[in-house]
Structure 1
């Protein structure tokens, strides 16, 4: 139960609720079955970011808000398992870009299908308009959070 007082502001209550949700999502992730026994679920977001277009490791790390060494280690595993290919960067042939293989796309589809089934079960008693509204608000929050993060990181690197 989140800590609230009669004078808690809406943003304080939201902050408490977000902490609860983040912790619960972390627990769900720990207990969810893996789509592939050798792929750490922490590497799944890489597949989502590579579906749109090839990316360099540095661009992938930036998109994931992670450091290059961690991403490189996870990429190595995904390459070894055949889910990602390394090839020439279309913008700079001297550099390498990462792309999803057919097996990587199949794994991504399986992850999305499982997540969709889980979300449908979780939100089964929600009105579809409430789900759509929640999604709209969540995207808005994510954009603002990312903007805030960009501002914070530019302050710490200057």
Structure 2
């Protein structure tokens, strides 16, 4: 869906799409490197495996506790994977189970105070690295990059909803 402040080029330039895909692959690689993850956790003093970080971020950003099935859907992973992660995070003191007010047989999970501290510490380290790496960028460039990235992710999610290959829905994410 085009934004009023811009009009999309028509048709989409295949060369630009190729370059965008390459750039996104490079970003994904940089963000998921095991060594970088271990450095971040060491720097902030948090003991957490790499797969738990997105789950903890999702829980920390949620205004209410979530069911395990909802977590699996939003993370686009299998429910047993989430169950194992939740057990590890619970043992580590990062999350707690709470009763589901809509169904007394079910439970939801939310981060503990320590879990929120851990997420904040990881985010602080990663944001510090970004600040350092992008220190010579202008505020206007950083704002434009953030706006365009949010717009791109929203477009990807809108397309995924149409094609049915994503668990997130429009209500799951803020519009930018």
- TM-score, shorter chain, exceeding 0.5: yes
Q: How far did residue 85 of structure 1 move?
A: 0.4
Equivalence map 1:23-42=2 (5 Å)? 23-27=29-33, 29-32=34-37, 33=39, 34=41, 35-37=45-47, 39-42=48-51
Detail structure 1 runs of 4+ shifted over 4 Å in the superposition: none
Partner of 2:53 in structure 1?
A: 44
What's the TM-score once normalised by structure 1's chain length?
Answer: 0.83
Matched ranges for 1:29-108 at <5 A: 29-32=34-37, 33=39, 34=41, 35-37=45-47, 39-51=48-60, 52=62, 53-108=64-119
- After superposition, what is the alpha-carbon deviation per residue over 1:13-56, rounded to whole angstroms, capped at 9, x for unaligned? 212222222223223x532322423x102211112211222000
1:11 paired with 2:22, answer no
CA distance in 2 between counterparts of 1:70 and 1:41 reads: 13
* Counterpart-to-counterpart distance in 2, 1:154 and 1:8: 23
Q: 5+ unaligned residues in a row in structure 2: which ranges?
A: 1-12, 167-176
Deviation (angstroms), 1:119: 1.0
**Count of residue pairs the alignment pairs up:** 147
Q: Closer, same or farther in 2 for the Cα pair 1:154/1:119, shift >3 Å?
A: closer
Structure 1: runs of 5+ lacking an equivalent: 1-6
- 2:154 maps to 143
Write the distance in 1 (CA, Å) between the matches of 2:23 and 2:95: 37
Is the 2:96–2:112 Cα contact (8 Å) retained in structure 1? yes
Aligned-pair CA distance for 1:116: 1.4
Structure 2 distance, partners of 1:8, 1:95, is: 48
TM-score where L is the length of structure 2: 0.75
